Amino acid sequence: MDGKRHKFSLGLRAVAWAVACLLSAQVAFGFMYWDSNGNAMARSDEDGSNVNNSFMTSGGSITSVAANQTHLFWRSGSSTIGRSNADGTGVNASFMTGLTLVNRIGINNDYIFWGVGGGSAGIGRANIDGTGIDNSFISVPNGTVGVRATSNFVYWSDGGANRIGRANVDGTGVDPLFITGITGQPTGIWVTDTHIYWIDGSANTIGRANIDGTGINEGFIGSPGSSASDIAVTSSKIFWTRFSPNAIGSADIDGTNVNTTAISTLEPATITLTIPESGTYGLIVGLLAGLGVLLLRVKSRGLKA
């Protein structure tokens, strides 16, 4: 029995260690972020509750937001990207400089991608730590509006040609015609494991297609309200920004129960969710879950710590 109690005690210590690692790394789970009035970053829980419209300020411009478990990123100027810790501390508005006409940005756990405007229109890429900047990573002659990345692909909305493109994250396999035939002008996009969503700014709709680009439904949500700009999708809800009348809209994942003013905020343009972490912190989270199950089983057999 003493040996079992000893193992139980070791398990508790392991859980405490894992929690300490997560807290010391300022890891954030399950949040939604958007830019507010062009000079602040707002935050809520992933379900849209606990809204903080002034979660973080940088003393300058904040547009085009992105987030992972440890850091927040934003467009801080036409040639710069800012970064802070996930809790809003450690603000560095000049985290990346020397970029070319930054539009919207998207990230995965390894890279930062951004739309490049002007005569060198396309997509830029850098390592997630800000090194290895490549302003001409992918050429997109018509320019990009929205940019999103998964572990394997980077996607972009090509509003000038009414289509959505895709490429491998290493820049190969560029397919500017991944989704074509969109009647209006796609702006913000979001990618899940099963679907691609987009805001159609000119048709005033939200479209959806299967992850392989088939099954296009341009009117998946037919009336998201005026001035819709960007979109984020959780496992159960769809959220989108409305620059005017200063609101975040929402709907259920099947496109029903549309609420065009679900969250009151100030001039939101872009929106994002905390992307899942696949590295060290993901392993720690898995360790926590596994140890939790183990400890519950031990305790259910009548052992005390």
204 class by beta-carbon count within 10 Å (0-12 exposed, 13-18 middle, 19+ buried) = middle
Q: Provide the CB-side half-sphere exposure for 305 (13 A, CA).
A: 8
> Smallest Cα–Cα separation from 121: which of 176, 63, 200?
176
At residue 117, the pLDDT reads 86
For residues 295 and 83, give the distance between their C-alpha atoms in angstroms, rounded to a whole number: 38
Report how far apart, in Å, the C-alpha atoms of 47 and of each of 233, 262, 266 are: 10, 11, 19
9 domain-assigned: yes
Examine the domain organization and report whether 272 and 293 are in the same domain: no
Q: Check whether residue 130 and residue 226 sit in a common domain.
A: yes
Say if 121 falls within a structural domain: yes
Quote the pTM value.
Answer: 0.83
Domain shared by 155 and 79, yes or no: yes
Looking at the fold, whether 179 and 210 belong to one and the same domain comes out as yes
pLDDT of 276: 76
Same domain for 92 and 77, yes or no, is yes
Kindly list the strands in the beta sheet with 205-210, ordered across the sheet, starting from the edge strand earlier in the chain. Answer: 186-191, 195-200, 205-210, 217-221
Question: Residue 120: its pLDDT value, please?
Answer: 72
Residue 40 resides in a domain: no
- Domain of 102 in residue numbering reads as 51-276
Q: Give the span between the Cα atoms of 234 and 228, in whole angstroms.
A: 18
**195 and 299 housed in the same domain:** no
Q: 165 and 16 in one domain?
A: no
- Confirm whether 113 is domain-assigned: yes
Count the Cβ atoms, other than its own, within 10 Å of residue 152.
11
Q: Are residues 92 and 146 in the same domain?
A: yes
With contact defined as beta carbons under 8 Å apart, do 136 and 116 qualify? yes
Residues 228 and 203 occupy one common structural domain: yes
**pLDDT of the residue at 297:** 54
Assigned domain for 43 exists: no
Q: Is residue 33 part of a domain?
A: no
| Contacts by residues 292-295 (CB-CB < 8 Å, ≥ 24 positions apart) | 292/15, 294/11, 295/8, 295/11, 295/12, 295/15
CA–CA separation, 213 and 204 (whole Å): 21
41 within some domain: no
Q: Looking at the structure, do residues 233 and 255 belong to the same domain, yes or no?
A: yes
- Whether the Cβ atoms of residue 186 and residue 209 lie closer than 8 Å to each other: no
Q: Could you tell me the CATH number of the domain that includes residue 84?
A: 2.120.10.30
- Averages of pLDDT over each 10 residues, the chain, 305 residues: 54 52 52 97 97 96 96 97 97 97 96 88 96 96 92 92 96 97 93 97 94 97 95 98 94 98 97 75 48 51 49
* CA 272 – CA 32 distance, rounded (Å): 6
CA atoms of 136 and 91, how far apart (whole Å): 27
Name the nearest CA neighbour of 122 among 160, 85, 76: 160
Please work out, in degrees rounded to the nearest 5, the angle formed at the alpha carbon of residue 62 by the alpha carbons of 232 and 127.
75
- Is position 81 within any domain? yes
Whether residues 92 and 10 share a domain: the answer is no
Predicted confidence at residue 28, as pLDDT, reads: 59
pLDDT digits (tens, 9 = 90+) for 70-109: 999 999 999 999 999 999 999 999 999 999 999 999 999 9
Within this chain, do residues 293 and 255 fall inside the same structural domain, yes or no?
Answer: no
* Domain tally, the chain: 2
Per-residue model confidence (pLDDT) at position 282: 46
